[in-house]
Amino acid sequence: MPFFTIAGKPLHYQMRGTGYPVLLGHSYLWDSSMWAPQIEALSISYQVIAPDLWGHGQSGPVPENAHTLGDLAAHASGLLDALDIEQCALVGLSVGGMWGAELALREPGRISGLVMMDTYLGTEPDSTRMRYFQMLDTIETLGRIPPPILDAIVPLFFRPGAALDGEVPTAFRNRLSAFSASQLRESIVPLGRLIFSRPDTVPGLVGLDATRTLLMCGALDSTRSPAEMIRMADVIGCRHVLVPEAGHISNLENPAFVTDTLLKWLRHHAGKENH
C-alpha cells in the first residue's frame, strides 16, 4: 500500500485506474475504504486517489501543526504535489468536503471541479458542538469509545430507521471499537475538536466557481441537513442534489444514485479529455 511523508507524517492513500485524476476525501471516523463502490466504478475511466485522513485507516497521526481545515487542505495539496498531479477533480464528503472547499478556494487552477457531499462550512450549532466535545473529552480520558458513546455515534451516519445491525453499520461500529488509545488521543480527538470548532466560512464560498461546483446531501441526513446544503448552494450559486433514501454516508446508503450522479458530472468537469 502506498504512502508519502506529508508534514512529517506517513499519509496512506489508494490509487486505482488511469485517466484524469479524481481525488476523494472521506468522512471523519471512516477511511478511504468508505469509497469502495465509487472507486470501483470511477477507476474504469479515471485515476482515483483516495487518501486516509490522519489517524484513520493506515495513515499516521495528525501532524503537530495541523490546527485548521486549511492545514488539512494543504496536506492534500502536498499529496498531489508528491504524485505530480497538477490538476484534478475533487469529491469530498463531510470533513472531506470541508477541506475540499478550502483547497478549491486556495488553488482554483488545480481543482477543475468540486463536489461537496453531506458537509457544511458554517459553524457547528451550539447544541451539537457541546455534545460532541463532551464525547471527545470522555474518549480522551478513557482511551477508548465506550458502548454508550458508540450507541450515540453510529446512528448519526445513517438515515433514520436504518437497520443498525446491518453489515455496513456493524462494520463501522467495529472499526470505532478498534481504534487504539494512541489513535484516539493523537488524532481522532484533536481532529474532532478541529472540525467541530470550525469558523463560519460559508460567505467565503462565493469565491468558488458555480459552474464547477456541485453539492449533494442525503435527503434524510440529520447530521448535515439539506437546509445547510441549500444555504451553501445559494451563496455559491451552484446546483444541488438530494440523494434519495440516504443519511450522512449517502455514498454507501444509495451508492448507485451517487455513483451515477458523479459519473455524469465528471464527464463535464474532469478535464478536457472527458468533455
Per-residue pLDDT of the chain (275 residues; tens, 9 = 90+): 599 999 999 999 999 999 999 999 999 999 999 999 999 999 999 999 999 999 999 999 999 999 999 999 999 999 999 999 999 999 999 999 999 999 999 999 999 999 999 999 999 999 999 999 999 999 999 999 999 999 999 999 999 999 999 999 999 999 999 999 999 999 999 999 999 999 999 999 999 999 999 999 999 999 999 999 999 999 999 999 999 999 999 999 999 999 999 999 999 888 644 43
DSSP string, the chain: --EEEETTEEEEEEEE--SSEEEEE--TT--GGGGHHHHHHHTTTSEEEEEPPTTSTT--PPPTT--SHHHHHHHHHHHHHHTT---EEEEEETHHHHHHHHHHHH-TTTEEEEEEES---SPPPHHHHHHHHHHHHHHHHHTS--HHHHHHHGGGGS-TT--TTSHHHHHHHHHHHH--HHHIIIIIHHHHHHHHT----GGGGGGS-GGGEEEEEETT-SSS-HHHHHHHHHHHT-EEEEETT--SSHHHHSHHHHHHHHHHHHHHHS-GGG-
**Confidence (pLDDT) at 198:** 97
The reported pLDDT for the residue numbered 147 is 98
Predicted confidence at residue 275, as pLDDT, reads 36
Domains of the chain from N-terminus onward: 3-123+200-274 (3.40.50.1820)
Q: What is the DSSP letter of 210?
A: G
Helix or strand holding residue 214 (H, E): strand 213-218
- Would you state the pLDDT for residue 1? 59
Cell of 91: 469529491
Tens digits of residue pLDDT in 162-220: 999 999 999 999 999 999 999 999 999 999 999 999 999 999 999 999 999 999 999 99
Give the pLDDT confidence score for residue 274 in this predicted structure.
Answer: 41
What pLDDT score was predicted for residue 269?
82
Q: Is the pTM of this model over 0.85?
A: yes
